[in-house]
Amino acid sequence: ETGVTQTPRHLVMGMTNKKSLKCEQHLGHNAMYWYKQSAKKPLELMFVYSLEERVENNSVPSRFSPECPNSSHLFLHLHTLQPEDSALYLCASSNRDRDTDTQYFGPGTRLTVL
Closest approach of another protein to the CB of residue 107, in Å: 5
Q: Considering beta carbons, is residue 31 or 78 the nearer one to another protein?
A: 31
Smallest separation, CB 77 to another protein (Å): 22
Residue 85 dihedral angles phi and psi, to the nearest 5°: -85, -5
The string over 84-111, giving b where at least 16 C-beta atoms fall within 10 Å of a residue's C-beta and e elsewhere, is ebbbebbbbbbbeeeeeeebebbebbeb
Q: Which is nearer to another protein, 45 or 60 (CB)?
A: 45
In the bound complex, what is the minimum distance in angstroms from residue 15's beta carbon to another protein? Answer: 26
User: Cβ 18 to another protein, closest distance in Å?
Assistant: 26
Residue closer to another protein (CB basis): 17 or 71:
71
Closer residue to another protein, CB minimum distance, 48 or 81: 48
Query: Interface with another protein by CB under 8 A: which residues?
Result: 33, 41-43, 45, 48, 55-56, 90, 96, 99-108
